[in-house]
Amino acid sequence: MRPDGTATLTFTGELDAISTPQAWSKLETEFAGSNVIRLEVDVRQLVCDSAGLALLYHLSVGGMTPGANVNLTGLSPELQHLLRSFSKEDFQALQEHEPTCSSFVEDVGAATWGWLRDLRQQVEFIGEVTVAIMKSLFRPRRMHWKEVFRVFDVAGVNALPVVSLLTFLVGMVIAFESAQPLEQLGAQVFVANLLGLVMSRELGPVMAAIMLAGRSGSAFAAELGTMKVNEELNALQTMGLSPVQFLVVQRVVAGILLTPVLTVFAMYAGLLGGIPVLLGLGFPLRMVLHQVQSGLHFGDLAEGISKSIVFGAIVASVSCLRGLQTGEGPRAVGESATRSVVSSILLIILADTIIASVTYALRK
Amino acid sequence: MNGDPHSLIEVRDLTIGYGDRRVLEGINFEVRRGEVFAILGVSGSGKSTLLKHLIGLYQPMRGDVLISGASIVHAEGDERLRILRKFGVLYQSGALFGSLTTVENVRLPLDEFTDLSEAAKDLIALSKLRLVGLESAATKLPADLSGGMQKRAGIARAIVMDPCLLFLDEPSAGLDPITSAGLDALIRELARGIGITFVIVTHELASIYAVADRVVVLDPKTRGIAAEGAPSWLRENASQPWVRQFLKREAA
By the 8 A CB rule, do A163 and A262 touch?
Answer: yes
Amino acid (one-letter) located at B250: E
Contacts of B144 in chain A (CB under 8 A): none
Count the domains in chain B: 1
Class of the CATH domain delimited by A6-96: alpha beta
How distant is the Cα of A61 from the closest Cα of chain B, in angstroms?
A: 12
Residue B161: which pLDDT band, with cuts at 50, 70 and 90? confident
Domain boundaries, chain A: 6-96, 105-363
Give the phi and the psi of residue A71 in degrees, each rounded to 5. -125, 120
State yes or no: pLDDT of A219 exceeds 90: yes
Exposure on the CB side of residue A201, measured as CA atoms within 13 A: 18
Compute the distance between CA of residue A68 and CA of residue A79 in angstroms, rounded to an integer.
23
DSSP letters spanning A107-129 = HHHHHHHHHHHHHHHHHHHHHHH
Q: Which of B120, B128, B193 sits opposite A78 (nearest CB)?
A: B193
Report the pLDDT averaged over residues A59-66. Answer: 80
Compute the distance between CA of residue B47 and CA of residue B50 in angstroms, rounded to an integer.
5
- CA dihedral B76→B77→B82→B84, nearest 10 degrees, is 70
Q: What is the pLDDT of residue A167?
A: 94
Percent of chain A with pLDDT over 90: 41
Q: What is the pLDDT of residue B2?
A: 45
Compute the distance between CA of residue B198 and CA of residue B177 in angstroms, rounded to an integer.
20
Question: Is residue A54 less than 8 Å (CB to CB) from chain B?
Answer: yes
State yes or no: pLDDT of B207 exceeds 90: no
Q: Test A82 with B122 for CB contact under 8 angstroms.
A: no
Q: Which of A81, A94, A331 sits opposite B122 (nearest CB)?
A: A94
Residue B192 lies inside a defined structural domain of this protein: yes
Q: What is the ipTM of this complex?
A: 0.71
Report the pLDDT averaged over residues A272-290. Answer: 90
How distant is the Cα of B127 from the closest Cα of chain A, in angstroms?
A: 4
Contacts of B106 in chain A (CB under 8 A): none
Give the residue numbers spanning the domain of B109. 34-59+80-247
Q: What is the pLDDT of residue B251?
A: 54
Q: What is the pLDDT of residue A51?
A: 83
Q: What is the pLDDT of residue A3?
A: 65
**Inter-chain Cβ pairs, chain A and chain B, closer than 8 A:** 86
Q: Which of A17, A58, A85 sits opposite B131 (nearest CB)?
A: A85
Residue B53 lies inside a defined structural domain of this protein: yes
Residue B193 lies inside a defined structural domain of this protein: yes
**Mind listing the pLDDT tens digit for each residue in A18-56?**
788 888 888 888 887 777 788 888 888 887 788 888 888
Residue B8 lies inside a defined structural domain of this protein: no
Residue A269: which pLDDT band, with cuts at 50, 70 and 90? very high
By the 8 A CB rule, do B43 and B49 touch?
Answer: no
Residue B190 lies inside a defined structural domain of this protein: yes
Question: Which residue from A minimizes the CA distance to B112?
Answer: A17
State yes or no: pLDDT of B51 exceeds 80: yes
Question: Is residue A21 less than 8 Å (CB to CB) from chain B?
Answer: yes
Q: Test B123 with A93 for CB contact under 8 angstroms.
A: no
Contacts of B131 in chain A (CB under 8 A): 82, 85
Residues 78-137 of chain B whose Cβ lies under 8 A from any Cβ of chain A: 98-99, 103, 110, 113-117, 119-120, 122-124, 126-131, 135
Residue B67 lies inside a defined structural domain of this protein: no
What CATH number corresponds to the domain at position B122?
3.40.50.300
- CA dihedral B83→B89→B95→B98, nearest 10 degrees, is 60
Q: Test B103 with A94 for CB contact under 8 angstroms.
A: yes
Report the pLDDT averaged over residues B26-32. Answer: 90
Residue B180: which pLDDT band, with cuts at 50, 70 and 90? confident
Residue A120: which pLDDT band, with cuts at 50, 70 and 90? very high
